[in-house]
Amino acid sequence: MNRVVHPIEEESYRRLRARLDTSHFPPLTRAVVERVIHSAADLEYAGDLVMDEGELEKAHAALHAGAPVVVDVEMVAAGITRRETVCRLRDAVAGPGLTRSAHAIRLAYEQVGPGALWVIGNAPTALEELLTLDAAPALVIGLPVGFVGAVESKAALRESGLPAVSNVSEKGGSAVASAALNALLYHPVPHPDSHSDSHSEEKS
């Protein structure tokens, strides 16, 4: 993806790296960690995020091959500016034992089927609902925020064995969830014959 990086963003990354050594992370993990920290100005995410480089590599390939991207709320969609997303919250209705956010996830799955990337940054109940479906996701970015259900839903995501980006604490939110997806979206697709340094200084 051809993307012009603004000088302010370049300076932000320079300052981030001056305060935190991220060079030991593998390439895609580093990209996600740095962009999440950049979005939140919170260095603690470096030790809070949980992900697997091999899973990120597969998700990166699926994303760049055109896999659908589903989000739980419009705020997450607003942060993903270079890719169309699916958000069914406007069509969803709450019911007995089912929040509106959870119903939106059901509707989205009916629309996109298996193999999508799911980006959940707001509602723990959306993440909980996704885990009940046979969604076979390419990746679940599960970073809902809050004092009720957020920690538990993210722990359940990790226990599910699904390919995922999550974090341990109550922190999260739409901005960091979209940042995690953008990190994969902006990261270059490797050329089949490329043997580039695994710790490239990719800023975008």
**Which residues fall within 8 angstroms of residue 86, CB to CB, at 6 or more apart?**
68, 69, 70, 71, 108, 111, 112, 116
Q: Which of 91, 86, 67, 58 is nearest to 165 (CA)?
A: 58
Distance, in Å, from the CA atom of 132 to the CA atom of 53, rounded to the nearest integer, reads 25
Whether 6 is catalytic is no
Catalytic residue among 6, 24, 38, 103: 38
At 17, list the tokens.
């790296």
Contact between 109 and 137 (Cβ < 8 Å): no
Q: Which residues are designated catalytic?
A: 38
